[in-house]
Structure 1
């Protein structure tokens, strides 16, 4: 909410100290004592008054005006003029008693003159950053320090940079944006000052105008460095930053798109309002478009090589017809399952890059260096990850754009950061599907080509990549989909069981958690899945987990309890002496986790039902 000071017109702000200076001049003329000192005060006040009037003339005619430093300096100048007025008025002839009460000394004048000298310095600096002598075109970056900012130079520098952004020529604007980016990188206090002093709107304007590639990169870098706090992200959102960023992402050179995608990821990560606003502004579609660029090229070529010439001609005619009849379609992808990756790729580009400008950018992207293309995809995948995080609606939007198929393909073909970001995006989408039946049914049907591709790549990562950083999100994703697999799909369980014996206890714990989602009572097929886990030799591995760290021990115990409850008559449980292990855990682990007492007790009761003979022998034994 704007303060009372900020609600006043800038002309009103400047009018008050001008009136004060006139009152001081009148009081100087009426002074009877310290006439020489009062005259010196009057000269300084005249200098301040002249500069205030110059600033007023400029403010009344300027097309764009950065008022933050004007308001702050004017408020300080007004205080100093009030001090001068109070002092000079004391020098007017009064009664003897009043003169005794209001004694004035030379030290008082020295103090007031020092204050007025500071005001002269502040006004001189203020006029210099607006370059009023040259018609107010902006004086460029001014790193000199006005007295008002002598104890906090960052403040005056930010004022100078923001004023340059608003009123100078493009080269100076780029320099100012780069300086703000550097300041914002240093510490959070600098970020706070930049936002509070109005740095966000001109940065967004520089980004939106697209005057040059360098200008857009400088602006996005500065905004990105500011956006690591919910309050500051909200300030960007409130200045319509989301709409500007989405437009830039959709219609800019690849290097700028990379920066814009990073900004989407950063803002969505720190502020749920920004996360929702980006989705509302349809940012997911261009992100998937950019992420899919060249992803299906090889598949498309392979498919075309198998087609006859006549078939190729017919396909092209059909695609051209779809493009002509649906030029303004808000959703360019069909919800029906694609018969081939090549058809999806062909349809994808005909519908998303039909405009001449988009086509131009596409040609530019094709000619870009591979590292630039990779950087863009990494940023887009990260943005989709942050948009999907904790959001069922955004996860659904990604799946509706055929994003799952693209993510699966990238997990298969890529490595490093891009592969990781794609896996994390899948993990967030599957986590949303775990708790939303509609999303689970619509996007992860067992006969869906996209869902099959995702599951195949997740299992490949779990089996073939010995890298816990990549394997853990893949394992979590399979666990989140546990309720989508029928009992016959035992092939998804075996890789998880294998990871129970992994040397990394955190990975083993995640495998136990995911298997627990197959075997827990909430899963309709928990009995069948429990038997499958046992058949794949999961019990001995779980018994070893009971000797691992606390987290692995905890989740290994939970899964053992589920197996005991749903498949208590298994010989594997008896041979591994699971009953003895659970009874021991009842005295140790449960003491640290009392919420498990009921589960462990139930598992012990189930095992006792099937191992009566063993228990009878134990009770009849006499030492």
Structure 2
């Protein structure tokens, strides 16, 4: 901090020295004395204001430097212009006078520059004195330096107030920044470039009032509209501050902060890792499960299920390694086995776990008495944050499953409706996507004897069978498909509902059902033979044939599923081999040139059906790509 103050003093000392040189040159002027005298008056005004800024800057406990540096640099340029012009008025030889001609127009131009410099300094001083400012202690006038871009002047004023003003003025200024950031991307860039992130984070962290924290969180949310702006927040060490506020704030503040977490995680995968490193999953799950479990039960379950896994994951993050997808062909019945994590303790994870149960303790009573709509909004925000954190991240998906998060999500999908139910369902879908690509997560989180896994599957099947809403049914169908390799052969309840959806009136719904069934029947699934037979026995062929007559997307995925079923059909006659063969041969002749990746798969399916249909039973074999 001392080095920063020293640099500001050095920057301010340069124009003060220039002003003294100009005054000396004015005293030595031999021509245009009247004009030089006027220059001296203007420069004296500038010098006094510069010295005032030095006093205020050195006395201020916190200082917003950006406008000071910009304005002082411009003032220095104008003082250099004045020094150059006034020195020309000193007694010179006749030849020098001819070469360097000075006119009254030069002085008129200089007066305009100096007048603008005085206006800039007057505006700058107003930032340090709220009593002289405009609306609500915020300076809303325009600095001449920013006359061509009024937004810049307002941004400077608002940021300075957030950093140096009184609390009511800081709240108002943060709200003004939030409004500007909501308007357009250019305003966001100006706010970030002019150093607005750090004061907003400071206001959020201080906890001086819930309104101040909400204003700061809203402004940061509006700024975090793309990856570049999110990185600016991360680079200001914003993630630890955000997680701390999330864990220990009033409920309405937590709701805004959770929304900010979701926004940042949505736009930047690096921030996902940073939030994971700060263990943000735990407070989010705790807030989401508020009033769902008893306090003792909640803490016990978190302790039993999450402590070792939090340690293990924390160590993995420190090594900067994310879990890699396993080979799709390596799945086997061992997916149902659980492999415990290491018992080695990490001090950082353990300390966080120890503090977690007490975080927000003094707000517990307020939370219990909070209005229902505030509680609901908090849960919606937390579910959205978990959704964005889990999206594309095996690591965060594992964290959620190793707390009570999976069971909590299943219960909310069962009991809630609207946005909260949807956010929870989308979080489950992202976790199942991570489980599909990571065998370890699949074995640990979706064991057949796991109550949480069973609860999730129950709710997914309930949505598929009982809810007539593709908005909810499509994510549920996708999730079942993503878990295809986790289901054992004896699991009979998941195939039927998916087959039923093949004939859904919504074509997208039927296509998603075909994609999900394809994950059961594809050769990468260790139990593809058993699953394919069950799909055929569930009378999937008629609706699948109808699906092939839809658009190109439904035709493509329907054809893939049909090929898998043909390859793994065995001796069953339910496949209707003659009809299926006709469809495959027609596709091979007409459409496959546009989809070369399907040519080999269709050829193998046709060969298999021809071999079976011509009666060569003893020579039959299943072709697996």
TM-score range, shorter chain: 0.7 to 0.9
Contact 2:521 2:561 in 1 (8 A): yes
Give the equivalent residue in structure 2 for 1:427. Answer: 429
Superposition map of 1:346-425 within 5 A: 355=358, 358-425=360-427
Distance in 1 of aligned mates of 2:569 and 2:390? 37
| CA deviation vs aligned residue, 1:47-91 (integer Å, no higher than 9, x gap) | 111111111121222211111000000011111111111111112
Give the equivalent residue in structure 2 for 1:542. Answer: 544
Question: How many pairs are equivalent?
Answer: 573
Give the equivalent residue in structure 2 for 1:62. Answer: 60
Distance in 2 of aligned mates of 1:77 and 1:13? 11
**3-state SS, counterpart of residue 490 of structure 1:** coil
Contact 1:122 1:146 in 2 (8 A): yes
Would the alpha carbon gap of residues 333 and 111 (structure 1) be closer, same or farther in structure 2, given more than 3 Å must change? closer
Contact 2:521 2:529 in 1 (8 A): yes
Give the deviation of 1:332 after TM superposition.
11
Distance in 1 of aligned mates of 2:81 and 2:6? 23
Give the deviation of 1:387 after TM superposition.
0.9
**3-state SS, counterpart of residue 572 of structure 1:** coil
Q: Which ranges of structure 1 fall in alignment gaps of 5 or more residues?
A: 301-315, 338-349, 615-623
Find the partner of 1:514 among 513, 516, 524. Answer: 516
Contact 2:130 2:138 in 1 (8 A): no
Find the partner of 2:215 among 204, 215, 218. Answer: 218
Larger mean CA deviation between 382-391 and 364-373 belongs to 364-373
Give the equivalent residue in structure 2 for 1:305. Answer: none
Distance in 1 of aligned mates of 2:246 and 2:101? 69
Would the alpha carbon gap of residues 53 and 7 (structure 1) be closer, same or farther in structure 2, given more than 3 Å must change? closer
Give the equivalent residue in structure 1 for 2:155. Answer: 158
Superposition map of 1:227-376 within 5 A: 227-296=224-293, 355=358, 358-376=360-378
Contact 1:554 1:589 in 2 (8 A): no
Give the deviation of 1:576 after TM superposition.
6.4
Give the deviation of 1:6 after TM superposition.
8.6
Contact 2:460 2:477 in 1 (8 A): yes
Would the alpha carbon gap of residues 537 and 185 (structure 1) be closer, same or farther in structure 2, given more than 3 Å must change? same
Contact 1:574 1:611 in 2 (8 A): no
Give the deviation of 1:545 after TM superposition.
1.1
TM-score, normalised by the number of residues in structure 1: 0.87
Contact 1:31 1:88 in 2 (8 A): yes
Give the equivalent residue in structure 1 for 2:49. Answer: 51
Q: Which contiguous aligned blocks of 4+ residues in structure 1 show a shift greater than 3 angstroms?
A: 5-8, 319-323, 329-337, 350-355, 357-360
Distance in 2 of aligned mates of 1:131 and 1:53? 15
| CA deviation vs aligned residue, 1:173-212 (integer Å, no higher than 9, x gap) | 1111111111111111111111111111111111111111
Contact 2:5 2:58 in 1 (8 A): no
Contact 2:136 2:169 in 1 (8 A): no
Contact 1:139 1:168 in 2 (8 A): no
Distance in 2 of aligned mates of 1:295 and 1:334? 26
Distance in 2 of aligned mates of 1:556 and 1:362? 53
| CA deviation vs aligned residue, 1:227-282 (integer Å, no higher than 9, x gap) | 11111111111212111111111111110010111011111111112111111111
Distance in 2 of aligned mates of 1:409 and 1:401? 14
Give the deviation of 1:36 after TM superposition.
0.9
Higher RCO (CA 8 Å, separation ≥ 6 residues): 2
Distance in 2 of aligned mates of 1:393 and 1:481? 17
Give the deviation of 1:132 after TM superposition.
9.0
TM-score, normalised by the number of residues in structure 2: 0.87
**3-state SS, counterpart of residue 102 of structure 2:** coil
Give the equivalent residue in structure 2 for 1:13. Answer: 11
**3-state SS, counterpart of residue 576 of structure 2:** helix
Q: Which ranges of structure 2 fall in alignment gaps of 5 or more residues?
A: 313-336, 339-352, 617-625
Give the equivalent residue in structure 2 for 1:93. Answer: 91
**3-state SS, counterpart of residue 246 of structure 1:** helix
Contact 1:568 1:607 in 2 (8 A): no
Contact 1:332 1:351 in 2 (8 A): no
Distance in 1 of aligned mates of 2:491 and 2:479? 16
Would the alpha carbon gap of residues 276 and 67 (structure 1) be closer, same or farther in structure 2, given more than 3 Å must change? same
Contact 2:578 2:613 in 1 (8 A): no
Give the deviation of 1:353 after TM superposition.
7.7
Distance in 1 of aligned mates of 2:398 and 2:407? 14
Superposition map of 1:98-247 within 5 A: 98-131=96-129, 140-247=137-244
Give the deviation of 1:124 after TM superposition.
0.4
Contact 1:353 1:359 in 2 (8 A): no
Distance in 2 of aligned mates of 1:574 and 1:568? 12
